[in-house]
Amino acid sequence: MEARPRSPGPAVYFAKDICIATCKIEEFWPSLARETGAGVLEIIAQATAEEGVSAVLDLEFANDSLFCEWAYVIDLDDEAFEVFAGAKSKDKTSSKRFDEIGGRRDTVPALVKSFSFTELPTTEDEFIGILNRALEGLDI
């Protein structure tokens, strides 16, 4: 394992060019940090061609019922913002969004709420209130 210091900051160790960092991921790749949550939307909005957004395409993460607590989909074709949570078997979900991800018996996040772009909440409190009311009726 070879240490390659990043400046300024702590050393980052690479094993076969995969970072197993001693630093906090949110310092270098905030778009990949769990704590960023919906804050990734601001990161995307501030991105430029020169300063892009780090991303990992790992669709099977949707099948990880332990670690995939929430999923958000921005559907530009249907002009919708969808919020998913928890895990349900594919045959018991109201959305087919994740049907092609993973195996037939894998779980997928359940649709909590779909917002058209024209009806997006305008405040965080409104957004959380709508989601809390939607979660009351779900068995997830």
Instruction: Encode pLDDT of 6-15 as tens digits.
Output: 434 444 444 4
**The pLDDT value given to residue 14:** 43
- More confident: 87 or 57: 87
pLDDT digits (tens, 9 = 90+) for 78-90: 999 999 999 999 9
- Return the exposure string of 86-120: e unless at least 16 CB atoms fall within 10 Å of the residue's CB, then b: bbbebeebebebbeeebeeebbbbbbbbbeeeeee
Residues 111, 80: Cα–Cα separation, whole Å = 13
If pLDDT is split at 50, 70 and 90, which confidence band does 131 have?
very high
- More confident: 95 or 27: 95
**The pLDDT value given to residue 68:** 85
pTM given for the model: 0.69
Whether residue 60 is predicted with pLDDT greater than 80 in this model: the reply is yes
If pLDDT is split at 50, 70 and 90, which confidence band does 2 have?
very low
How far from chain centre, in Å, is Cα 65? Answer: 13
